[in-house]
Amino acid sequence: MAEQPAESRNEAGSITERTDRLLGRRDALRLGAATAAVVAGAGAASTSAAAGIEREGVSFDRVVNAVDDLGMDPNGNDRIDEKLGAAVGDSGTLVEFPAGEYKITQQVRLENRTGIVGVAGDRSKVRFVPPSGKSFQWVNFNNVAGAVLKDFTVDRLDDYDTSVGMGGNIKREFHLINVEYDGWTPSGPQMFASNVTDPDGVAVVDGLYRTGPTEFQRYPKSSLDIWSGRGHQGTLYLRNVEIHNGSESGIYTGKGDGNYIIEDGYFKNVVHTAIRTAGRDSAIRRCTVVMDTEEWNPRNEKVESTYNDGENVQLNRAIWAQTADRRFSGPVIEDCDIIIRNTDQALAGIYINSDTGGAVIKNTRVRVDDGRAIPIYAKNPTDEAGEPLAMELENVSVTGESWDKAAMYFEGRPNSVVRNCCISSPNNNDGILLDNCDGSVVENTNVSVGGRSTTFKNGSVTTSGITSGDSCPLPTLPGSTPSDGTPTDSDGSDGSDGSSDFDLPYRFRVESTGGGKAEYTLTTSGRMLPAADAEGVVENNTVTDSVGPSSGVDSYLYEGYVADFSASGGEYANYYIETADGTHSTAVTPELLSANTLVVKSTGGGKTRYVVSVDGEIVHGGAGLKDTASTQTAAGAVGPTVGMDVFHYTGSITNLSIEGGEYATVKVNDAEIDPAKYEYGSGEEAPTDPATDLPNTLTVKGVGNSATYVVTVSEEIAVSPEETDDLSGNVSTKSAEGAVTDQEDRYVYAGEITDFQLTGDATVLVNGTEIDPADLGDNDELPNTLVIDGERTQAPGVYKVYVTGDIEAAPDLSVANGDDSFDSLEDKVMDGAVVGVVGSGKDGYRFSGSVTRMEINGDAVVNFGG
């Protein structure tokens, strides 16, 4: 991508479009008279004395009124270029503009201690307007020492043929404050392009806004909004910048020797990268970045989801640290919020390039739902990367529906630190992936994901205080943005409960019908919060509450779907699943919510369409409320990049037809199924319910004497398809019971065995391995689980785990690969510690207390439960 501004391939001060600044005789006399009056102390009311006037810390010799003193036309008929150029070309002159529309047609160049300031009390009332079809850099900073540009609007007009900008080198004492670019943005000059050339010089941009529509074109016709390059030596503050619909990069900095401090910005749908900078002395603080291709500016008359040649726009990164050959480290990133909803080719929320050293990231929240972006990615460094290479994360939260690789993915970043962080996703996403990061530390961090909690490859990583099950802070949108506007309706609050409908998109509502008290327990797959009309306490995404006996309404906002529900006195209330804004709603019953759940989730790459029929009843379940559902049939689509549809149903699935099934996963009661096995109507025997396609096996084998058993699992249990006897009467959703003498009872199940009671003697096998029945089920004394997984790694992993309580091997959580010699090695379990080797199998343990330290050499995936 471009390193220089689109108008110039040289430094900012080399933009050479010049202006004839000669004035007519009457104009020169008017300016001279105003200046003379100031010096004499007898100027007009709008003209200040010359005794050291100071604005924003810059000292001026004189202040003149553009209309009263300089005779500029505030009605937009006569151009002001010569008069303005002469005024700001005279060192020490500040020009004040009253409300009006001022016609500009060519460049003006600033001299030292000059300024252009609106005095209407509203920036929109002082407007500088070019003729239609003209594109030029209006103000050239001319390596100025002392300048103030404040409280006005530059109008780019509502067309894609007109554009103006500002730029040029700055020496020091520069202030640009509360300036807006209105209208549409084609390819053309940058809003602000500058280097601070004095190593001790400071320039401040505080309030620069562009929110209008954009003509998206490919580089080099695309347009950077804010640029600073290799000639930068001093310090540039970029505060309260707001950019929407950027066509190249919002802020492009990071290759100069100076510093960049970027604070309190708001960036929405900026192509390529919203904020780009590097260097440990540079910082990004309190900025918000939103990436969502379904929320382009509604005023745009062009289709903003595509380039002008029809290919999809690329929202690649929220923050990018990249330096080319400068050997800089990454910046400090603090208290930022990044939200990635829908994109086409997103790479990462925070991306540390291979030519850049490690970054420090603190108190920052990243949410990724698009399935393509890596929330935080540090790429394998090259020789051009500056020191230190290590990443340092503290109090960082990653949440969302779907991301790529892992929430935190570092390559070749030894001695990195992840401390007091939180990762949470209800779906099959991975947590922390450290590859070739020897000497790194992960401590006091929650990892609650459906995929792999931690994966460490090619290096020793030490962990301590790792937990799971906690909910994590979500990114929040500001109540107002720097331009004094607010995010679009889809980004903000619905005004009824103080929660953003983006953060928690669904609502579960309970309405008393009178006649009695309805008490219920609700669990959701993702985060849940009470709305204004609910009083229950939410813990681990579960709440118990009640309505009635005569009236009452409860509402809870959540993400994901209803994972479990039970009610006492359920007949005394009505139940609804809705979108948070109330635009879609469906009535449900306790019977439906406690029966079966079908989830169709896009994995990206294409669109998946489906039709499902049941012999009971089927209704929507949160995600997918806009799709079609009748009493016994539902249809919809997910993809092509993200999307998840959820349904609750009773009875069994009688037909499941899917087109584009390779682009989605399908789960029934949290167990993934193969949809092709359940398509009906091919002339073959009707298939069994996919609820029986469960991953684990349990066999209870009689040894000649009568024995009875009761088993309970955490998710679902069903009769094995290989069972020849009719055991259907033995089974409910999560439990089974029976008796054996000399036969075998076989079951399949998902989740874990939480309780197993055996009276008499029998042989019990889990996944084909004989297990001591006493080892099965929850152990109140050892409530937590730890699984070290080698099935998806390429090399054995040697591990040490230390806990504050007791730890024991869990055979039902372990899988030994008989062909792998490493899996045959005996692991050593000691008092509060275990040392072992995992090859291509799994080593499972149960423990009490918490993990205080974990060391892994080689490859291994670590998953926590409990």
What is the Cα 12 distance to its own chain's centre? 33
Regarding whether 673 and 633 lie in a shared domain, the answer is yes
Please give the pLDDT value at position 31. Answer: 45
Please give the pLDDT value at position 306. Answer: 53
Would you state the structure tokens that stand for residue 819, as one six-digit string? 């062909």
Regarding whether 767 and 789 lie in a shared domain, the answer is no
Regarding whether 203 and 109 lie in a shared domain, the answer is yes
Regarding whether 758 and 684 lie in a shared domain, the answer is no
Q: What is the mean pLDDT of each run of 10 residues along the chain (866 residues)?
A: 37 35 37 41 40 88 97 97 97 98 97 97 96 95 97 92 94 97 86 96 96 79 88 96 90 92 94 90 95 67 50 82 88 96 86 95 95 94 93 96 93 96 89 93 91 86 83 86 54 33 71 91 85 77 89 85 89 87 78 87 79 84 54 76 79 84 85 67 41 77 91 86 82 86 90 85 88 74 79 70 84 68 65 82 82 74 67
Please give the pLDDT value at position 866. Answer: 53
Please give the pLDDT value at position 332. Answer: 96
What is the Cα 841 distance to its own chain's centre? 34
Residues paired with 433 in a beta bridge: 409, 455
Instruction: Count CB atoms within 10 A of the CB of residue 42.
Output: 10
For residue 269, CA distances in Å to 221, 294, 710 come to 18, 10, 56
Please give the pLDDT value at position 733. Answer: 74
Would you state the structure tokens that stand for residue 615, as one six-digit string? 């012999």
Please give the pLDDT value at position 45. Answer: 36
What pTM was computed for the model? 0.67
Regarding whether 74 and 155 lie in a shared domain, the answer is yes
Widest Cα–Cα separation across the chain: 120
Domain boundary among 724, 754, 775: 775
How many domains, in total, are found in the chain? 5
Regarding whether 653 and 561 lie in a shared domain, the answer is no
Regarding whether 685 and 612 lie in a shared domain, the answer is yes
Indicate the pairing of strand 446-448 with strand 397-399.
Answer: unpaired
In a domain, 623, yes or no: yes
Residues paired with 129 in a beta bridge: 103
Would you state the structure tokens that stand for residue 119, as one six-digit string? 């005095």
Helix segments in 252-376, DSSP class H: none
In a domain, 346, yes or no: no
What is the Cα 90 distance to its own chain's centre? 49
CB 255 within 8 A of CB 229: yes
Regarding whether 148 and 24 lie in a shared domain, the answer is yes
In a domain, 253, yes or no: no
Domain boundary among 173, 208, 243: 208
Regarding whether 183 and 168 lie in a shared domain, the answer is yes
> What does DSSP assign to residue 84?
H
Please give the pLDDT value at position 13. Answer: 36
In a domain, 111, yes or no: yes
In a domain, 86, yes or no: yes
CB 352 within 8 A of CB 324: no
Regarding whether 700 and 685 lie in a shared domain, the answer is no
Between helices 25-40 and 81-88, what is the axis angle to 10°? 40
In a domain, 752, yes or no: yes
In a domain, 232, yes or no: no
Give the Cα separation of 279 and 702 in Å (integer): 69
Would you state the structure tokens that stand for residue 134, as one six-digit string? 């003209």
For residue 478, CA distances in Å to 95, 299, 349, 491, 579 come to 35, 22, 18, 10, 22
In a domain, 28, yes or no: yes
Give the Cα separation of 346 and 8 in Å (integer): 28
Regarding whether 719 and 676 lie in a shared domain, the answer is no
Least Cα distance to 297 among 193, 214, 411 occurs for 214
Domain boundary among 726, 749, 775: 775
Please give the pLDDT value at position 309. Answer: 60
Q: What is the dihedral of CA 54, 55, 60, 65, to 10 degrees?
A: -120
Domain limits at 86? Answer: 1-208
Regarding whether 202 and 102 lie in a shared domain, the answer is yes
**CB under 8 Å to 443, separation ≥6 — which residues?**
417, 418, 419, 420, 462, 463, 464, 465, 466
